[in-house]
């Protein structure tokens, strides 16, 4: 079975992709598993450019079909912040809890109806000897006043989905994979991956 590299060291993200790409005729491996510890350049101004850069960087190193994504949270009341800086918003060594608290503090005077936001994700698929393809997904909601739920990572505990009355961290993983920004982008990428694996 051919190998497909998932360019992440984030275990939560890797576990999600295991489910999202289940049933494909690829053995999914991570950077750790193939012994790659170099860091890809990730200093572009858009999610798409960062995802493409990462996928092509690690595909060139590994010789494998490589999946990379760049994703983040865009809060309307903050002019789209934290955006591409989502993981570094509260500082380079911040934990998920630090990031959540930092964002909530910035929004402490913003009323509930103005706390609209969206998660965006761009997945890039780099194919050795071929062109890189990108796929985008987004999920709209708003920022809760305090964290709720145990099922997610990152900003999931404060990303509230009005139609479900829950945060992303409170919904079942199956539903999250269906409606999340990463789930929606992965559904589009899956069609390409199925064609590559001979399905």
pLDDT in tens, 137-174: 999 999 999 999 998 889 999 999 999 999 999 999 88
- Mean pLDDT across the chain, nearest whole number? 94
**25, 69, 70, 76: which is the annotated catalytic residue?**
70
Q: What is residue 198's predicted lDDT score, i.e. its pLDDT?
A: 63
Contact 177, 19 (CB under 8 A): yes
Residue 34 pLDDT greater than 80, yes or no: yes
pLDDT digits (tens, 9 = 90+) for 63-112: 999 999 999 999 999 999 999 999 899 998 999 999 999 999 999 999 99
- Domains of the chain (ranges, CATH numbers): 3-196 (3.90.950.10)
Q: What is the 3-state secondary structure (H, E, C) of the chain?
A: CCEEEECCCCHHHHHHHHHHCCCCCCEEEECCCCCCCCCCCCCCCCHHHHHHHHHHHHHHHHCCEEEEEEEEEEEHHHCCCEHHHHHHCCCCCCCHHHHHHHHHHHCCCCCHHHCEEEEEEEEEEECCCCCCEEEEEEEEEEECCCCCCCCCCCCHHHEEECCCCEECCCCCHHHHHHHCHHHHHHHHHHHHHHHHCCC
Residue 197 pLDDT greater than 80, yes or no: no
Q: What is residue 44's predicted lDDT score, i.e. its pLDDT?
A: 92
> Which residue from 137, 132, 136, 159 is spatially nearest to 148, judged by alpha carbons?
159
Q: Which of 109-118, 153-162, 174-183, 190-199 has the lowest mean pLDDT?
A: 190-199
Q: What are the C-alpha distances in Å from 148 to residues 16, 60, 158?
A: 20, 40, 7
- For the chain, give the percent of residues with pLDDT over 70: 99
Residue 18 pLDDT greater than 60, yes or no: yes
Q: What are the C-alpha distances in Å from 57 to residues 23, 40, 49, 160?
A: 26, 6, 12, 35
User: Is 70 among the catalytic positions?
Assistant: yes
Q: What is residue 9's predicted lDDT score, i.e. its pLDDT?
A: 84
């Amino acid at each position: 079975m051919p190998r497909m590299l998932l360019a992440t060291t984030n275990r939560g993200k890797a576990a999600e992709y295991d489910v999202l790409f289940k049933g494909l005729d690829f053995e999914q491996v991570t950077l750790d598993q193939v012994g790659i510890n170099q860091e890809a350049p990730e200093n572009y101004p858009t999610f798409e450019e960062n995802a493409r850069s990462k996928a092509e960087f690690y595909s060139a190193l590994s010789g494998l079909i490589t999946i990379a994504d760049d994703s983040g949270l865009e809060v309307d009341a903050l002019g789209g912040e934290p955006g591409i800086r989502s993981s570094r918003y509260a500082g380079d060594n911040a934990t998920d809890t630090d990031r959540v608290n930092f964002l909530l503090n910035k929004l402490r005077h913003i009323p509930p109806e103005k706390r609209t936001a969206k998660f965006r994700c761009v997945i890039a698929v780099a194919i050795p000897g071929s062109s890189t393809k990108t796929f985008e997904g987004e999920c709209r909601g708003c920022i809760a006043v305090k964290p709720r739920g145990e099922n997610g990572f990152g900003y999931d505990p404060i990303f509230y989905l009005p139609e479900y009355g829950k945060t992303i961290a409170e919904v079942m993983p199956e539903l999250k994979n269906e409606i999340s920004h990463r789930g929606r982008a992965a559904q589009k990428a899956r069609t390409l991956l199925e064609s590559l694996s001979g399905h």
